[in-house]
Amino acid sequence: MNNSLINFGLFIFRISISLFMMLGHGLGKFQKLISGAEIKFLDPFGIGATASFSLAVFAEFFAPMFIVLGVLTRFNSLSLIITMSVAAFIAHADDPFSNKEKALLYLASYVLLFFTGPGKFSLQNWLVKKIKNLNGILKFILH
């Protein structure tokens, strides 16, 4: 298999899935958060509706922005893995499969990006080339 094609495919996938998340789900939440409107939101971790909503805004708006750029892709994917797991298995636990399908597709997408990283066409790849002697967890996060 041609590595250039794999990296290009990963680049297109990373950008498209993250733009869909950011524009289709995160932007509306971000606008609601900054509007000062009352926040009514699921509180699965017992930290309050506003804090839970703020975490969802980070995961659905800011994390995809960084993933599009290819920066800290694994860390940002992890925030989306948690958010989409909550959406599929807690928020939509009793719903039919068709209602949780989108969350599960996003979950699978960000699990893929967690394991692959951003690929060759990313700011992260450029940074890794500039920083020598990476080891341990830092190497996993940045490479």
Could you list the beta-strand ranges (E) of the chain. none
**Cα torsion 100, 78, 22, 67: sign:** negative
Confidence tier at 131 by pLDDT (50, 70, 90): confident
Confidence tier at 129 by pLDDT (50, 70, 90): confident
Q: What is the pLDDT of residue 138?
A: 61
Q: What is the pLDDT of residue 135?
A: 61
pLDDT in tens, 29-45: 999 999 999 999 999 99
> Closest Cα to residue 12, out of 136, 121, 130, 133?
121
Q: What is the pLDDT of residue 133?
A: 64
> Closest Cα to residue 78, out of 100, 63, 88?
63
Distances (CA, A) of 17 to 54, 63, 89, 102, 132: 21, 12, 21, 12, 31
Q: What is the mean pLDDT of the chain?
A: 92
Full-model pTM: 0.88
Given a contact cutoff of 8 angstroms between Cβ atoms, the answer to whether 39 and 32 are in contact is yes
Q: What is the pLDDT of residue 130?
A: 72
